[in-house]
A = this chain, B = another copy of it.
Amino acid sequence: MTAPFASLSQFRAVLQALPGADSTAIAAAQERNIQLTKPPGALGRLEDLAIWYAGWRGTGKPSLDAPQVIVFAGNHGVTARGVSAFPSEVTVQMVANFKAGGAAINQLAKAFGARMDVHALDLDQPTADFTAAPAMTEAEVVAALACGWQAVDPSADLLVVGEMGIGNTTCAAAMACALFGGEPGEWTGRGTGVDDRGLALKTQVVAEGVALHGGTDPLEVLRCLGGREIAAMAGAIARAHALRIPVILDGFICTAAAAVLAQAAPGALDHCVAGHASAEAAHRALLSKLDKAPLLELGLRLGEGSGAALAIGVLKGAIACHSGMATFAEAGVAAG
């Protein structure tokens, strides 16, 4: 479908009209959960996950059969400042790798039965260097949001969004700092692996960007400090909410995209769970601002949606237990 917005103000209105979860389905899932053959609460967070998922899918006994992974790619003018350990050419090379099935996210999507799509957004047209000008015009950011919005398969029952974009941890750090305040150094990490000197430079670049574009509203933060793949992730997460498709958030950059939505409209991320806490230290701080507890913490710092894709397994396990287990009555087990 065509995206139902042609400007940031229209996108904001879409966010403010997003639906909530189905409270009847939540109640049915809670009722079922207490009847399953296990001590109350013995499946820990798996129980909460299944009930949350049930609420978004609108049934007390849901299944998870059609997860979709979408990887968005974009290039960043701020790489001219030398903020990444890798050259920008790697973005297009990795897109080819995604399309050929050779990247980590391809293996994880396959391992967990997910459909995978790749959208490269104008890789030959990097965004503007945000230390000199807004990264994108309004038309550019709206086009990227619309790309994400349209990329979601309405028949999916779970969404993971990932990214590839040399330089984009710098964007995410600047966005987080502009959205939540604090010192640029608190939000800036090593990304794919810059050294101490690179980290100091990156922090300086983040500070310059925030000084130039901070203090504006969340959607302007996205436009001025973000990037095309980041806006596309935000658009896809919003569309999933509109479709009541639950989302597993990935790492720092994905979470920065999601944070824009949360700051623009309370409850915009109620359909999202945090897949993991990455090794990028600011990711944990950002999840904390969003009141999201990560499912996994395995030191990943790859992006691509990899940590979220790995967490599909946890969610699949939670739903398999919830919807597949016998009740005490069915199994003839004493309930204690």
A279 — which chain B residues lie within 8 A by C-beta?
A: 44
CB <8 Å contact, A326 and B103: yes
| A25-51 residues at the B interface, CB under 8 angstroms | 36-46
* Contact string against B for A residues 132-172, beta-carbon threshold 8 Å, 1 for contact and 0 otherwise: 00000000000000000000000000000000000000000
Residues of B within 8 A of A93 (CB): 331-334
Stoichiometry (number of copies)? 2
Q: How many residues of A are counted as interface, with CB atoms below 8 angstroms from the partner's CB atoms?
A: 59
The answer to the question of A263 belonging to the interface, with a C-beta cut-off of 8 Å to chain B, is no
Do A39 and B108 contact each other (CB < 8 Å), given the known contacts A90-B333, A331-B102? no
Residues on the B chain within 8 Å of A264, using CB: none
Residue in contact with A330 in the complex, picked from B102, B301, B302, CB distance below 8 Å: B102
How far, in whole Å, are A3 and B320 apart by their CA atoms in the complex?
36
Which residues of the other chain, B, contact A38 by a CB distance below 8 angstroms? 103-104, 302
- The answer to whether B90 touches A321 (Cβ under 8 A) is no
Contact of A298 among B86, B295, B302, B332 (CB under 8 A): B295
A330 to B39, CA, bound (A): 51
A6 at the interface (CB under 8 A from B): no
Select one of B86, B96, B295, B301 contacting A336, CB under 8 A: B86
Q: Is A300 located at the chain interface by the 8 A CB criterion?
A: yes
Could you tell me if A317 and B102 are in contact, using CB atoms closer than 8 angstroms? no
Give Cα distance in the complex from A44 to B283, angstroms: 15
Task: Assess A317 versus B100: contact at CB under 8 Å? Given A44-B300, A193-B336, A302-B39.
Answer: no
10 interchain residue pairs of minimum CB distance: A313-B313, A44-B299, A102-B326, A107-B320, A107-B324, A42-B302, A39-B192, A111-B320, A45-B298, A93-B333
